[in-house]
Amino acid sequence: MGGGSAGRGSSRGGGSGGGSVNGGSGGGGRRGDGGVGIEVFLGLLKGPEERSEGSGGSGGGGVVGRRVERRVEERVVEGGGSAGSGGGGGGVVVRVAGDVRRFGGLSLTREPEPAGEGFVGYLLDVYYDGGLGRAVVKLVGSDGGIRVYVDRTGHMPYFLTDLPPDKVRGLRDVVGHPGFDHLEVVEKFDLLRWTRRKLTKIVVKTPDVVRVLRGKVPRAWEANIKYHHNYIYDLGLVPGMRYRVAGRGLEPVGFEVSRDEEEWIRGVFRGEDEETLKLAVAWLPLFEEAPPSLEMVAFDIEVFTPFKGRIPEASEAAYPVISVSFADSGGWRCVLLLARPGAVFGDRVPSEFPGDAFIEIYDSERALVLDAIRIIANYPLVVSFNGDAFDMPYLYNRALKLGVDRRLLPFRFTGGGGQHVPTVKLRYGLHIDLYRFYNIKAIQTYAFGNAYKEFTLDAIAQALLGEKKIAIESTVSDLTLAELVTYNMRDADLTLKLISFDHYLPWKLMVLLMRISKLPLEDVTRSAVSAWIKSLLYWEHRRRGYLIPTREEVVQLKGEVRSSAIIKGKKYQGAIVIDPPSGVFFNIVVLDFASLYPTIIKRWNLSYETVNPAYCPGGKLVEVPGVGHKVCMSIRGLTSMIVGLLRDYRVRIYKRKAKDKSLSEDERRWYNVVQAAMKVYINASYGVFGAESFPLYAPPLAESVTAIGRYSIMQTLRRAGELGLKVIYGDTDSLFIWSPPEEALKELQDYVEREFGLELEVDKVYKFVTFSGLKKNYVGVTTEGKIVVKGLQAKKRNTPEFLKKEFKEILDILVAISSPEEFVKARDAIREKLREVYRKLKNYEYNLDELAIRMALGKRIEEYTKNMPQHVRAALQLKQVGIEVLPGDVITFVKVRGREGVKPIQLAKLLEVDVDKYVDHMRSSFEQLLAALNMSWDEVVGASRLEAFLLG
């Protein structure tokens, strides 16, 4: 990794100048030539600083920290052996060397090369370049390098109006605007009114002019679509697929479907209309084309932290960057470390110390920050966890504070404003923020089955990888350098694994979602599922020449809802929920209506243009039971076609292919990702069409879906009763049946398939379920020994640590139950456990850390004007003793006696704790569970109170 050679490759191997990873005169590789562990370069604090910003060059002309006399020292930390000895000892060798120029060959300002004629690459991004005044497409080629194609079609920003051209020409605010370019007349088919319309296309010079001029006409269409999305829709591009640069544009590659493949698809979807069959054939390549493979690096930064709980603010970048770690897909791992005053390597090395990682120690923070940015600037794909909100803006603002010219920095900030976090883009590569990806509700729920409940790196890694962050007691600033390296490197490793685990399943999922949604990589990984569905629908509207309606006219022309909401705040009646009993029930089978709402959307032909239509060609109308909306069945609804086709592709083809043992393991893995992507999309579809913020929200459509769902479930319940099945609980699309005979279950499943075209699948089989008597509130243990907890208080966030721990131990008691007799014994054990917790609380046997509640400060203290929550009151106390608190800081506090009721843990004493408040917290956490176990709170703690009285 010497600094001599330029380009990305210099971060992987040796170079012709500067020091090497092995302390020699050049060259070097990823690991040391000794057998005893890690080699560390430390720039000695001597000599004048030499800094050279820019692209570097031969001989390592980049940022080098301080130039010092060349010498090498060795010391062994724990264990025998020395560098170069060929092995032995297992200790960590620390080498100290001077004149080290490691990343000088990497450019801060690297730009993608132009994609030449005939270049073939996967389309990953589209953006508007204001300097060029054109759309730019980022492609990744077979060599893994990023290339750019600059639009050759002359595509320009625009919007539509129903004013004729002569009327538009009379609007001086429009045609007189310097950003106005010209007018065109276009023809679109209006699905809402079922008629063909001529519209005026107002073409402008730059995308920002659309925002200015759209308000100058009485009615505007397609004026709220981002320009780069418009470009994709108009040219029919599919992000995630391959294209060839040719002539005046991009030619699709790999979209061909053979005659045999077409016949096979038509056979699978036999019975569908011709339009659906054509779409099914056109979609096949999206699911069969292999995903792109490109080099990626995950990184994480650590910043000096003055006290525990402080999260430095990225916009201020007030504290030094003390460590940056990198882990790439080729196995290269590296930590850039700041040798700050008072920091020591430490005599003991953690057992998790990354012995195969490069470590660079800097005496200059400026040099460290610039080298970190150089590495980021040169990878095709950079992966972070919360990089949009913290790591990248912190590096950017810290570099500015350290005197770096902003023109040398590779970051571009787009979007943002208000409560929205800007997306951080890079000049050369692309950036995925996994925090935002794993925060997408559809990803959490449908891709990963709610495996994680919190959105921290630690919580997601534990749930999906079975690995954890390194736990630390204080702040990163208090760690030894060896501990800091270990802590920081683990974060980068976990971040890389969260995009690469299970043979790169998350990455492949992202590629599939790009292809389905028609959104670029950096958009689809940061957008809610509503944006994915909107984008696909808009793309299909453009492909077919349909006018994209405004949200206002959809609501106006389709009418309002006709049912009353049961839940406060909802516009119409939702799903049915059957009141549960209270108590424990053994042998519970849960039946699930597979893809209930997507199947209803397909079977009932539900789409914004088919529900309560202005005109129904053929006149075939059916009425939705319970609400009376009319649905046109003689034309195929666009939403119905798309959602139904995705559902059928998954069920009829890819769920089967994912389990087909005649296919290779790699093929089965790919097809499993394909079916998972489809599942994410279709299961989230109803929630989108029922959301008022969705641009194609049609209240009667959303209401019809839930009405048909209620009707189907009520008829199923009636039939279950006739078959003698005991349905004890039901929620949305699930039925809990107590000890059902197998034959009756099969008959019920056949009935549902026959009458409603729905699949009723066995979802879970519980050994037992304990119900509290409240809806969505139970604990169950499956026959596989997995515990399922719904709605119980001790599982909520912001619960004191001791309650989380004790709740888990009680759940462990429940998991061991396998018979009613054991259940009785378990109740006794739980009773004793809770009495023990109660006694420990009363006797102050829990320490402050165990009693602590942790909550993040959402905004500045002074912005809390209407009320002051408990964590804000604790933050105010910190501020009053001179400890600065900022938005994002995690406030750790305990409940105490006195007027304020809380104290930050830094200021509290154990005997100040208000035990009664924690008893109340304990009661609210366990009372619902006790009700499900047919126990009362007084029954548990009453004996404890009596015992305390008698012993006292």
**Of the given ranges (265-274, 630-639, 808-817, 931-940), which has the lowest mean pLDDT?**
931-940
Comparison of pLDDT for 815 and 633, the residue scoring more: 633
* Residue 576 confidence class, pLDDT cut points 50, 70, 90: low
- For residue 898, how many other CB atoms are within 10 A of its CB? 9
- Residue 357 burial (10 A CB sphere; 0-12, 13-18, 19+): buried
- 773 in Cβ contact with 581 (< 8 Å): yes
- 872 and 933: one domain? no
* Strand, helix or coil for residue 896: strand
Round to whole Å and give the CA distance between 196 and 348.
77
Q: Percent of the chain, pLDDT > 70?
A: 85
Q: What is the pLDDT of residues 881-912, one digit of tens each?
A: 877 777 777 899 999 999 899 999 999 999 99
Round to whole Å and give the CA distance between 687 and 700.
14
Q: Is the pLDDT of residue 571 over 50?
A: yes
- Which of residues 735, 762, 781 is at a domain's end? 781
Is the residue at 687 inside a domain? yes
pLDDT in the model for residue 454: 81
CA-based torsion, 704, 710, 715, 716: positive or negative: positive
Distance, CA of 724 to chain centre:
44
Residue 693 sits in a domain of what CATH number?
3.90.1600.10
Comparison of pLDDT for 247 and 466, the residue scoring more: 466
- Residue 368 burial (10 A CB sphere; 0-12, 13-18, 19+): buried
pLDDT in the model for residue 889: 79
User: Reduced to 3 DSSP states, what percent helix, strand and coil does the chain have, rounded to the nearest 5?
Assistant: 40, 20, 40
**Of the given ranges (153-162, 240-249, 875-884), which has the lowest mean pLDDT?**
875-884
Mean pLDDT of 368-383: 97
- 776 and 631: one domain? yes
Is the residue at 307 inside a domain? no
pLDDT in the model for residue 104: 64
Comparison of pLDDT for 52 and 552, the residue scoring more: 552
Q: Is the pLDDT of residue 28 over 50?
A: no
- 587 and 688: one domain? yes
Q: What is the pLDDT of residues 197-214, one digit of tens each?
A: 999 999 999 999 999 999
**Of the given ranges (7-11, 237-241, 272-276, 859-863), which has the lowest mean pLDDT?**
7-11
- 759 and 707: one domain? yes
Q: Percent of the chain, pLDDT > 90?
A: 62
Q: Is the pLDDT of residue 22 over 90?
A: no
- 610 and 660: one domain? yes
- 630 in Cβ contact with 609 (< 8 Å): no
- 312 in Cβ contact with 305 (< 8 Å): yes
- 643 and 735: one domain? yes
Is the residue at 688 inside a domain? yes
- Which of residues 781, 815, 836 is at a domain's end? 781
pLDDT in the model for residue 328: 97
* Residue 193 confidence class, pLDDT cut points 50, 70, 90: very high
Q: How many CA atoms lie within 13 A of 162 on its CB side?
A: 11
Is the residue at 828 inside a domain? yes
pLDDT in the model for residue 166: 97
Q: Is the pLDDT of residue 33 over 50?
A: no
pLDDT in the model for residue 38: 34
pLDDT in the model for residue 856: 83
- 733 and 818: one domain? no
pLDDT in the model for residue 2: 33
* Residue 931 confidence class, pLDDT cut points 50, 70, 90: confident
* Strand, helix or coil for residue 487: helix
pLDDT in the model for residue 570: 52
pLDDT in the model for residue 382: 99
Round to whole Å and give the CA distance between 717 and 724.
11
- 763 and 878: one domain? no
Range of the domain at 923: 792-844+918-951
Identify the DSSP state of 447.
I
Q: Is the pLDDT of residue 603 over 90?
A: yes
Round to whole Å and give the CA distance between 904 and 315.
26
Q: Is the pLDDT of residue 31 over 50?
A: no
pLDDT in the model for residue 549: 97
- 580 and 676: one domain? yes
Is the residue at 51 inside a domain? no
- 691 and 649: one domain? yes
* Residue 416 confidence class, pLDDT cut points 50, 70, 90: low
Mean pLDDT of 546-557: 93
DSSP element (H, E) containing 338:
strand 333-338
Q: Is the pLDDT of residue 82 over 60?
A: no
- 127 in Cβ contact with 228 (< 8 Å): yes
Distance, CA of 327 to chain centre:
20
Mean pLDDT of 687-714: 87
Mean pLDDT of 405-426: 86
- Which of residues 731, 746, 781 is at a domain's end? 781
Is the residue at 595 inside a domain? yes
- 366 in Cβ contact with 503 (< 8 Å): no
pLDDT in the model for residue 796: 58
* Residue 723 confidence class, pLDDT cut points 50, 70, 90: very high
Q: Which residue has the tokens 């990184």?
A: 299
Round to whole Å and give the CA distance between 913 and 895.
6
Average pLDDT over all residues of the chain: 84
Mean pLDDT of 782-794: 78
pLDDT in the model for residue 93: 33
Residue 883 sits in a domain of what CATH number?
3.40.1820.20
**Of the given ranges (93-102, 785-794, 825-834, 857-866), which has the lowest mean pLDDT?**
93-102
- 650 and 719: one domain? yes
Q: What is the pLDDT of residues 277-333, one digit of tens each?
A: 999 999 999 999 999 999 999 999 999 987 766 678 899 999 999 999 999 999 999
pLDDT in the model for residue 819: 85
Identify the DSSP state of 792.
-
Q: Which residue has the tokens 């979602």?
A: 513
242 pairs with which residues across the strands?
Answer: 122, 253
- 791 in Cβ contact with 774 (< 8 Å): yes
Entry pTM: 0.81
Q: Is the pLDDT of residue 951 over 90?
A: no
- For residue 351, how many other CB atoms are within 10 A of its CB? 6
pLDDT in the model for residue 41: 36
pLDDT in the model for residue 778: 86
pLDDT in the model for residue 59: 30
pLDDT in the model for residue 792: 61
Is the residue at 836 inside a domain? yes
Q: What is the pLDDT of residues 492-540, one digit of tens each?
A: 999 999 999 999 999 999 999 999 999 999 999 999 999 999 999 999 9
Is the residue at 755 inside a domain? yes
- 857 and 814: one domain? no
Q: Is the pLDDT of residue 85 over 50?
A: no
Comparison of pLDDT for 17 and 261, the residue scoring more: 261
Q: Which residue has the tokens 């990953």?
A: 124
Q: What is the pLDDT of residues 417-438, one digit of tens each?
A: 555 789 999 999 999 999 999 9
> For the chain, how many structural domains are there in total?
3
pLDDT in the model for residue 489: 98
* Residue 20 confidence class, pLDDT cut points 50, 70, 90: very low
